[in-house]
Structure 1
Amino acid sequence: MEKEYSILLVEDDPSLGYLLTEYLKMKGFEITWAKSGKEGLKNIESNYYDLAILDVMMPEMDGFTLAGKIQNVAPELPFLFLTARSLKIDVLKGFALGAVDYLKKPIDEEELVVRIESLLSRLGKKTVVAHEDKNYSIGKYRLNSVNQELSFENEVTSLTSRENELLVYLVNNPNQLCSHKDILIHLWGKNDYFNRKSLNVFVSHLRRYLSKDPSIKIDNVHGQGFILKVNSP
């Protein structure tokens, strides 16, 4: 890696936390290990991280609750979940909260490193693009993709990283079909069942955010993809 990425690991299991911390350090990452959700939140409020790795099952503040708070204090921070829970509803909930990935325990350390490097590389490339072309007009809305803010008149909606990325992708391809596969490969890096379900959740979020302007519509083309339709006044 060209740069030493800063990663926050939030894991209450002392054995796994120590193992992952030492392994990721060995692979060249700068790691901060928080042993509870509350400690993780304090770190996020006072430090910058390129990525957060959140355990789901923790006392006092679980990973899902922490993820919700991240959207308020550091909406630009991408995060992934680690969990022993494999229920589909938990996976979908994780993606709905804005997770960029979801890994099930027991963790394969080598797979984790590959996922992290792929995520950071992909997110880093998109950050450069976002800064080059940061302001977009969408009907009566304005999108600032760097601040991840969608504005309508005097009302501002803060977007999650994934919502922001998806809206930028659709805005850059207006009034044309964006296939499920192309969106998923571009944003998630892979086209699979869980990511397709997650994509539908994020599209629902964007439809709700954009509902104040009747000239804007995100159409679902069954079995193919989505079209962001923006009708000129």
Structure 2
Amino acid sequence: MADILIIEDEPMMRLGLKDNLEFEGYRIDLAVNGKEGYEKAIDGSYDLILLDVMLPELSGFEVCKKLRQNGNSTPVILLTARGEEIDKVLGLEIGADDYVTKPFSVRELIARIKALLRRVKTEDQGNTEDLEVRIGRLDIHFGNYTAADGDEEIKMSHKEFEILQYLYQHKNQLVSRYDLLENVWGYEEKPTTRTVDNFMVKLRQKVEANPNQPRIILTVHGAGYKLIY
């Protein structure tokens, strides 16, 4: 069963989540602020992180951003009381995999957790062939989520690997923004297509020899993207 780190400063919420998830069979670790949560997330080995946005010391956004910048690709579900679209988009753009807006039902949260863990497991099983490919400047190992430009390791978020893998699986084909939203994010409540475009900018900076004149990840105006391979 999966190991889940809950980073939540509200005692009742923290313990309520712990009790419900342990009842489902998950192994739970707890952190009460952003700093402690970040340190545990970096040092520990978790299958998923439940991360409150409004935290003392470091906000959830800051924790997620620092994790991704340091190459940690553990799936993250944001817990937020905010409902504004800009906050949801920001969370996804800095590398979160999903978000749940408070107040939420425990059943909904557990369904999101199971769906995300199932998706990650499916990706791992799909990479049993230990697939390594070269895409642009990068040597990509989808099986263990590593990327390198020669001898230099290139840090990429879990979501960036997912997007690049989906493009590779559909190489030389048109992939619409909605294809990516449906198959990579997979939400009933989807982020905006602008989120996809922002991720493509980041990927081009890592893949392309000249991101301003892309030759690998091409934009098909008004339609989507195409990975040339």
Q: TM-score scaled to structure 2, two decimals?
A: 0.90
Task: Give, in angstroms, the shift of residue 144 of structure 1.
Answer: 1.8
Deviation at residue 193 of structure 1 after TM alignment: 4.3
Amino acid in the other structure paired with 2:163: L
Is residue 2:146 matched to residue 1:149? Answer: yes
Secondary structure, in 3 states, of the residue corresponding to 1:219?
strand
Q: Secondary structure at the match of 1:117?
A: helix
Does 1:189 find its partner at 2:158? no
* CA distances 1:124-161 after superposition (whole Å, capped 9, x unpaired): 11012234243111244311223433323343311100
**Is residue 2:216 matched to residue 1:225?**
no
Aligned mates of 2:11, 2:81 — CA distance in 1: 15
**Contact in 1 for aligned 2:51/2:79 (Cα 8 Å):** yes
* Separation of aligned partners in 2, 1:195 and 1:48: 31
Q: Tell me the number of residue pairs that the alignment of Structure 1 and Structure 2 aligns.
A: 227
- Counterpart of 2:78, as a letter, is F
Secondary structure of residue in 1 paired with 2:28: strand
CA RMSD of aligned residues (A): 2.1
In structure 1, how many angstroms separate the alpha carbons of the residues matched to 2:93 and 2:85? Answer: 12
The AA in structure 2 aligned to 1:84 is A
Residue from 99, 102, 116 that aligns with 2:99: 102
The DSSP-based 3-state class of the residue aligned with 1:48 is coil
| Partners of 1:198 and 1:25 in 2: CA distance | 34
**Alpha-carbon distance in 2 for matches of 1:116, 1:147:** 21
Counterpart residue number, 1:175: 172
Q: 2:64 matched to 1:67?
A: yes
Equivalent of 1:90 in 50, 63, 87: 87
Select which of 46, 50, 53 maps to 2:47.
Answer: 50
Residues of 1 paired with 2:207 and 2:227: CA distance? 11
Aligned to 2:3, which of 6, 11, 27? 6
- Tell whether the 8 Å contact from 1:37 to 1:66 is kept in structure 2 after alignment: yes
Q: CA deviation at 1:14?
A: 0.7
Counterpart AA for 1:135: E
Partners in 2 of 1:207 and 1:14 — Cα distance?
42
Residue segments in structure 1 that go unaligned for 5+ positions in a row: none
* Contact kept? 1:6, 1:49, Cα under 8 Å: yes
1:114 aligns with 2:83: no
Unmatched segments (≥5 aa) in structure 2: none
Partner of 1:129: 126
Letter in 1 for 2:216: K
Change over 3 Å in CA distance of 1:20–1:140 after alignment to 2: closer
Q: SS at 1:116's partner residue? A: helix
